[in-house]
Amino acid sequence: MTDGDFARIQKYAMEHTGISLSGQKKEMIYSRLAKRIRLLKLEDFSTYCDLLSDHSEQEISNFVNAITTNLTSFFREEHHFEFLKETVVRDLKEWHQTDGKVRVWSAGCSTGEEPYSIAIALSEAMLNGAQWDIKVLATDLDTCVLKHGSDGVYDVERLEDVPERRVRRFFRHGRKENSNKVYVKDCVRNMISFKQLNLMKDWPMRGKFDVIFCRNVVIYFDKPTQRILFDRYANALRSGGYLFIGHSENLNGVSDRFESLGRTIYRKGLD
Ligand SMILES: C[S@@+](CC[C@H](N)C(=O)[O-])C[C@H]1O[C@@H](n2cnc3c(N)ncnc32)[C@H](O)[C@@H]1O
């Protein structure tokens, strides 16, 4: 991969995902795309770049799937879920006393552990469940991870750190050849809609969210892209709505439309 090839790849990554690839990522990108090149039996990176520049829809989708980093886990950053249950739920109950409609968005949901954790935490905390219509929109750009998320099937080791009572209530163990698998129960799966959405493009959703999770996604974006994105999140949140971001992220110099509540939790100012 020549410097010229890498520069083209950086440009396509920015164009199609908003991901800003620094020079340090060259090795990683090399190994991920080399697999595509071998599979397609192409001669070199330059031919691969030509294919992307010809707007091959199929390959752009594979390219996007190859360059995204999808690391996630159930109840990652546990304090966010504790806060959701202890503090946010009080507001949700007040805001939706009459209509019962709670709307949460997991933006950059990867393989689904995050939206499932949100749905489980809310199920545990919202008493009198039947009166609430809780919906979690789970979106990602990467079609492979979305498929995994909507299937709701995980290796049993993924639940190693989840307390047994939670596992029993919300998951079902596979049998026979699937005994190393766990299946998310329908009571949780039915609360979530998985949809492909590129955060850099139009958002078709109408109506405001009560809570947005966008964790460990914007670390891959540059500051100008982050400014635009968080402004759009502020527009998509109800007044006083909550925003959760990743442990190494912050909104300093990015947005002044949120008040920090500490530990990467923010609240949109009251309109
Ligand atoms: C590291 S994962 C974070 C998963 C989860 N939010 C968490 O914190 O555990 C980042 C996710 O952001 C997604 N992503 C990256 N760029 C995106 C974009 N432009 N639009 C939507 N999703 C994007 C990636 O596909 C990836 O699944």
Per residue in 225-259, pLDDT (tens digit) is 999 999 999 999 999 999 999 999 999 999 999 99
CA dihedral in degrees (71, 72, 77, 80; nearest 10)?
130
CATH code of 3-67, in short, is 1.10.155.10
Average pLDDT of the residues of the chain: 94
Model pLDDT, residue 142: 94
> Could you give the strand order of the β-sheet that contains 153-155, starting from the edge strand earlier in sequence?
153-155, 181-184, 171-173
Q: Do domains 3-67 and 78-155+186-268 have the same CATH topology?
A: no
What is the enclosing helix (H) or strand (E) of 218?
A: none
Model pLDDT, residue 127: 63
Give the pair of three-digit tokens for residue 149.
Answer: 């998320």
Superfamily of domain 78-155+186-268: Vaccinia Virus protein VP39 (3.40.50.150)
Farthest-apart Cα atoms in the chain, separation: 62
**Domain-wise residue ranges, the chain:** 3-67, 78-155+186-268
| 202-238 burial: b if 16+ Cβ within 10 Å, else e | eeeeeeebbbbbbbbbbebbeeebbebbbeebbebbb
Give the pair of three-digit tokens for residue 1.
Answer: 């991969």
- What are the tens digits of pLDDT across the range 90-107? 999 999 999 999 999 999
Answer whether residue 213 shows pLDDT above 70. Answer: yes
Ligand 1 neighbourhood includes 61 CB (under 6 angstroms): no
Amino acid at 9: I
**Phi first, then psi: what are they for 196, rounded to 5°?**
-80, 130
Q: Which listed residue (32, 36, 169, 227) is catalytic?
A: 32
Model pLDDT, residue 128: 62
Give the pair of three-digit tokens for residue 121.
Answer: 């935490």
pLDDT-derived band at 167, boundaries 50, 70, 90: very high
Ligand 1 neighbourhood includes 80 CB (under 6 angstroms): no
Ligand 1 neighbourhood includes 246 CB (under 6 angstroms): yes
- What are the tens digits of pLDDT across the range 4-22? 999 999 999 999 999 999 9
Helices (H), the chain: 3-17, 26-39, 45-53, 57-67, 78-83, 89-95, 113-125, 143-151, 164-170, 186-189, 223-236
Distance 216 CA to ligand 1 centre (A): 7
Q: Is there a catalytic annotation at residue 54?
A: no
Model pLDDT, residue 139: 98
CA distance 80 to 249: 14
- What are the tens digits of pLDDT across the range 20-61? 999 999 999 999 999 999 999 999 999 999 999 987 888 999
For residue 87, give the DSSP letter: I
